[in-house]
Chains A and B, each alone.
Chain A
């Protein structure tokens, strides 16, 4: 019995085709995330440097571990060529390790495999579920907003949006500026999926390719945003969604609602003048309402911020602060807020997340809703029988 050594050097592969135990390989990929640390050896207590993170070449993303990496110059975005890595598997996912047997060095962008969009399968929005990548979707941009986040030390701009095809909508989070504009129809490849609070998101970073295409059959933004409300029971069964629309009556408030104090550093709510992260702080007063909206089939929590709370309540933060001397107890204000809102009918739209406590909506709009009593009475009369009311 002899082992068949390949006559030539390592095969060049794409990450998608990487399998453990198939002989020496080499590939070109981009470092998507990386994290440097040191581990101690048990035997002699010596320190050993280690770099780990994710690699992608547009066909797949794999986790990598790099023992004794160069001291500097290896960072997110760098394209590398790896020859002879160890290929393993953990929980069904392929992983690579660069050790003393591997040769790893910088490579150029152009060496990255060209991924023809036609090569990856087309998926419909309805069928997108994490973990997933190596697919192509055709969508219309329904909404896009810019927000700034801190990642470690660094501030970055994220483009949050909502995209739709004829099967549904999905939230989009782009870490690179693709100059997305509402109404455009796109072909997206190289995106990946992740679950954020139970809701699937499409994430685009520098690996993704966005191409403007002509797809007039995709639903237009207005029809997506003005979709009729679903029942709360349906929303609970679906586990939320990127753009939910519901209508119901206020049946309660969850704490904390009304007058709250926030940490000046991180805006988390303070408890007894103390922030979970920053300790003892001088809390900044704010108004909010965690509204329980119920339509008889189920209930959702609607988190209203200061502006919405003031509008619905008809009471401003200044007014509350001005009367704090006579009414210092936040519970009294919460009680007044509940007495104002209870039983009011609202239509709420926004992304709905789902956790063990049920569905929560971060509202993009909260509008008072009316029903047409005459038409309703007529319909009901027909159903109870016995002639017109």
Chain B
């Protein structure tokens, strides 16, 4: 089943609090960012005030723009690059802050020291009026509260079965997400977060001003994770494999029209030199973890 990923309705604060992820295992499986409050997000739908976009990135051939979307609970970076041409045009279309609905993919980048940078890569953006913004925010608050209630139920009664919950109409993937959240964020302060949603409710009621987060939020949210355990230094033979993979990556990239190396083609090439695809995947994963190689598009690799 190639199910379309639903667009989770979340407030910005929930995204700011998320730093756990699940990487898909296979070549085409989705990856998810897991929040402390029961969302397991690949795609999200956000609403709030979108700031004017600023260009980031050095390569003029690969334009990349970033805005900040703020709602009454917090703010999150929204980006679009040349691979999302329509969203990029939309992101750049305004020089003044405006109310908007943004649909996009959640992206969590973790630096070497475990610092996480969460952003939403826009798939679609539309400037909306106040009523639409308040209605979309109402959805986000309602579903967030539904998820918080589900978490409380599971936390107080771990014996409740998924079947019982599904009979009550709780979506199966919400139950999976909630159980995973409880495991991965045992310290999450749900009562505090529930209180933080009050500002959003005031906005739904039309009382609060739009998207005025308490203080000007940073463009990216920085979190400290415990640093990953140090890896043993690679052996000489591992280094040799790495250089083989990199050599072919450069060759494949050179020959391709889009300057990316196709993952499958690369695996086939190194395979012909006796490096099996399992082993080659391991090497690629290591190179990606070390920040030498990146995969900005699924199946397309380049040097970072």
Question: What per-residue 1/0 map shows which CB atoms of A263-296 lie under 8 Å from chain B?
Answer: 0000000000000000000000000000010111
Q: Which B residues from 84 to 122 make CB contacts under 8 A with A?
A: 86, 90, 101, 103
Decide if B171 touches A231 in the complex (CB within 8 Å). yes
B155 contacts A by Cβ under 8 Å: no
Task: Give the interface centre of A251, A252, A339 by most chain B CB atoms within 10 Å.
Answer: A251
- A294 interface neighbour in B6, B90, B134, Cβ under 8 Å: B6
Decide if A342 touches B126 in the complex (CB within 8 Å). yes
Decide if A373 touches B202 in the complex (CB within 8 Å). no
A370 contacts B by Cβ under 8 Å: yes
Check A380/B126 contact, CB under 8 A, given A231-B171, A339-B86, A339-B90: no
B143 contacts A by Cβ under 8 Å: yes
Q: Which B residues from 1 to 39 make CB contacts under 8 A with A?
A: 1-9
> Taking the nearest CB of chain B, how far is it from the CB of A197, in angstroms?
15
Question: What per-residue 1/0 map shows which CB atoms of B134-176 lie under 8 Å from chain A?
Answer: 1110110111010000000000000000000010010111100
B194 contacts A by Cβ under 8 Å: yes
Decide if A384 touches B4 in the complex (CB within 8 Å). no
B45 contacts A by Cβ under 8 Å: yes
Instruction: Name the B residues within 8 Å of A298 (CB-CB).
Output: 6, 171
Which residue on A lies nearest to B86, using beta carbons? A335
Binds A, one of B203-211, B270-278, B281-289: B203-211
Decide if B4 touches A358 in the complex (CB within 8 Å). yes
Decide if A232 touches B198 in the complex (CB within 8 Å). no
B124 contacts A by Cβ under 8 Å: yes
Instruction: Name the A residues within 8 Å of B194 (CB-CB).
Output: 384-385
> Taking the nearest CB of chain A, how far is it from the CB of B248, in angstroms?
33
Decide if B2 touches A377 in the complex (CB within 8 Å). no
Which residue on A lies nearest to B8, using beta carbons? A296
Which residue on B lies nearest to A297, using beta carbons? B171
Check A343/B128 contact, CB under 8 A, given A231-B171, A249-B101, A338-B86: yes
Given the complex of chains A and B, what is the CA–CA distance between A374 and B4 in angstroms? Answer: 33
Which residue on B lies nearest to A332, using beta carbons? B86
- B7 interface neighbour in A296, A356, A374, Cβ under 8 Å: A296
Question: What per-residue 1/0 map shows which CB atoms of A347-389 lie under 8 Å from chain B?
Answer: 0000000001110000000000011011011101101111001
- A380 interface neighbour in B6, B47, B103, B141, Cβ under 8 Å: B141
Check A343/B126 contact, CB under 8 A, given A232-B6, A299-B6, A389-B205: yes
Given the complex of chains A and B, what is the CA–CA distance between A251 and B102 in angstroms? Answer: 9
Q: How large is the interface on A (under 10, 10 to 19, 20 to 34, 35 or more residues)?
A: 35 or more
Decide if B138 touches A376 in the complex (CB within 8 Å). yes
Given the complex of chains A and B, what is the CA–CA distance between A371 and B136 in angstroms? Answer: 10
> Taking the nearest CB of chain A, how far is it from the CB of B284, in angstroms?
29
B197 contacts A by Cβ under 8 Å: yes
- B103 interface neighbour in A231, A233, A252, A356, Cβ under 8 Å: A252
B253 contacts A by Cβ under 8 Å: no
A140 contacts B by Cβ under 8 Å: no
Decide if B134 touches A373 in the complex (CB within 8 Å). yes
- B204 interface neighbour in A232, A343, A380, Cβ under 8 Å: A380
Can you name 14 A-B pairs with beta carbons within 8 Å?
A: A252-B123, A296-B139, A298-B171, A338-B86, A343-B45, A343-B101, A343-B132, A343-B136, A371-B135, A373-B138, A373-B205, A377-B204, A380-B197, A380-B204
Interface, chain A (partner B; CB < 8 A):
231-234, 236-237, 249, 251-252, 292, 294-299, 335, 338-339, 342-345, 356-358, 370-371, 373-374, 376-378, 380-381, 383-386, 389
Q: Sorted from nearest, which 5 A-B pairs have the closest CB atoms? A: A233-B171, A343-B101, A377-B205, A389-B205, A296-B9
Interface, chain B (partner A; CB < 8 A):
1-9, 43, 45, 47, 86, 90, 101, 103, 123-126, 128, 131-132, 134-136, 138-139, 141-143, 145, 166, 169, 171-174, 194-195, 197-198, 201-202, 204-207
- Having A251-B103, A358-B3, A384-B201, one finds 7 other A-B pairs with CB under 8 Å, namely A233-B172, A252-B124, A339-B124, A373-B131, A377-B138, A377-B206, A389-B202
